[in-house]
Amino acid sequence: MTGPGPGTDAGSGTLAYDETGRVRFHASSVADRNQPVFDAEWQRRAFGLAVALSEFGHYPWEDFQRELIASIGSWQDAPDDARGRWEYYQHWVTALAAVIARHRLLDDGYVNPEDRRRPIRPGSR
Amino acid sequence: MSEPFSYPDDREEASAAQVRALEALLIEKGVITSTTVDKVLGYFESEMTPLNGQKIVARAWVDPEFARLLTSDTPTAIAQLDLPEGMTGAEGEHIAAVANEPGVHNIVICTLCSCFPWPVLGLPPYWYKDPVFRARAAREPRAVLTELGVPLSEDTEVRVWDSSGHSRWFVVPTRPAGTEGWTEGQLAELVTTESMIGVALAKQPSAT
């Protein structure tokens, strides 16, 4: 999973530019053959989970997005030698865990949106 | 971009295990069912694809009134077409189109994360999420476009659209010359995902 350059392993650390610093797309990224979107099933399921929970009203998408931006931002702000290889979906998983915790989806007593008749905690969103 | 050592695969394995655990817990707690994620993924993978964007652009190329509505009220315009149900779900209500025109080229990025108009373009290509691409396209879009094979003349203005939770942009590329009288179906074939992100032009008729 550590392809060294273009034409190898899209999405798992291969940067969108080649050894000379020029931007170059992975061969699969042109002419609409922009797959694979996911390198592994866990990435696909992480994506599906985050979207599904938002679509079914467990949190507004913006709340997930805020966590994603925070995780990506902290990676980008870290020194080169203090951060791991860029892996987009690891940020996605971090954000997913954070938004699930923040909205207490796994707490005892959590009530699904479709079962809520009135706000459970006045003042909360 | 030296990498002193490769990172162990256990980081990847840890992420995979964390996702499995989260889904299992959410099912156990009754927050979702065992089929929820597959249903959502199935919908994304079968219905939310660039084919929708291709049809939208092709209609805009043949129908000036639709083209005007598309850039002024994108969701209303999209609702006029016979596209899969749910175009306004999955953040579709925030989709906004910008059109290339003589002297203006548009490019879409997301500087903070990876916002993308899923219902019309599907999931973003991997490079769209890349930190280097995101930073460079914001800082020097003209240079990046040149490297990608879209050299623009000095008098062409480059407009960079930063997608966000509130606006998920896509580009209506310029209709290629030599396509007079083409059907929408034929025209749609010329519209690539890359051209709707603004990092390419629509295909030329001779290239198909």
pLDDT digits (tens, 9 = 90+) for B105-151: 999 998 888 888 888 888 888 778 888 888 888 999 998 888 888 88
Query: Do residues A52 and B37 make contact, with C-beta atoms less than 8 angstroms apart?
Result: yes
pLDDT at position A25 is 55
Q: What is the DSSP letter of B52?
A: H
State how beta strands B157-162 and B168-172 pair.
Answer: unpaired
Long-range CB pairs of A20-24 (<8 Å, 24+ gap) are A22/B147, A23/B133, A23/B136, A23/B144, A23/B147, A23/B148, A24/B147
Tell me the residues of chain B between 54 and 83 that have a Cβ less than 8 Å away from chain A. none
Interface contact flag, B130 A62, Cβ < 8 Å? no
Q: How far is A123 from chain B (nearest CA, A)?
A: 23
pLDDT at position B29 is 92
Stronger pLDDT, B183 or B92, i.e. the higher one: B183
Q: Is B132 on the interface with A (CB under 8 A)?
A: yes
Q: What is the mean pLDDT of chain A?
A: 74
pLDDT at position B89 is 67
Query: Do residues B16 and A42 make contact, with C-beta atoms less than 8 angstroms apart?
Result: yes
Give pTM, 2 decimals: 0.79
Q: How confident is the model at residue A32 (pLDDT cuts 50, 70, 90)?
A: very low
Token pair of B71 as six digits: 């850039």
pLDDT at position B1 is 41
Region for A13 from its dihedrals, namely left if φ exceeds 0, alpha if ψ lies in -120 to 50, beta otherwise: left
| pLDDT (average), residues A6-16 | 37
Q: What is the DSSP letter of B169?
A: E
The residue extents of the domains of chain B are 10-44, 49-207
Token pair of B135 as six digits: 């930073």
Span B9-60, pLDDT tens digits: 688 888 999 999 999 999 999 999 999 999 999 888 888 888 999 999 999 9
Q: Is B87 on the interface with A (CB under 8 A)?
A: no
| Chains A & B: contacts with CB separation below 8 Å | 156
Q: How far is A122 from chain B (nearest CA, A)?
A: 22
pLDDT at position A6 is 35
Q: Identify which of B19, B115, B126 has the shortest CB distance to residue A93.
A: B19
Q: What is the DSSP letter of B106?
A: E
Q: Which single residue is written with the structure tokens 């989709």? A: B95
Q: How far is A124 from chain B (nearest CA, A)?
A: 19
B67 pLDDT exceeds 80? yes
pLDDT at position B148 is 83
In angstroms, rounded to a whole number, what is the distance separating the alpha carbons of residues B107 and B100?
9
pLDDT at position B123 is 83
| pLDDT (average), residues A90-106 | 95
Q: Which single residue is written with the structure tokens 């020029």? A: A22
Q: Identify which of B16, B20, B90 has the shortest CB distance to residue A55.
A: B90
B68 pLDDT exceeds 90? yes
B207 pLDDT exceeds 60? no
In angstroms, rounded to a whole number, what is the distance separating the alpha carbons of residues A14 and A1?
9
Residue in chain B closest to A34 (alpha carbons) equals: B125
pLDDT at position A120 is 57
Q: Is B127 on the interface with A (CB under 8 A)?
A: yes
Active site members of B: 110, 113-115
In angstroms, rounded to a whole number, what is the distance separating the alpha carbons of residues B61 and B184?
8
pLDDT at position A118 is 62
Q: How confident is the model at residue A23 (pLDDT cuts 50, 70, 90)?
A: low
Q: Which CATH number is associated with domain B49-207? A: 3.90.330.10
In angstroms, rounded to a whole number, what is the distance separating the alpha carbons of residues B118 and B124?
8
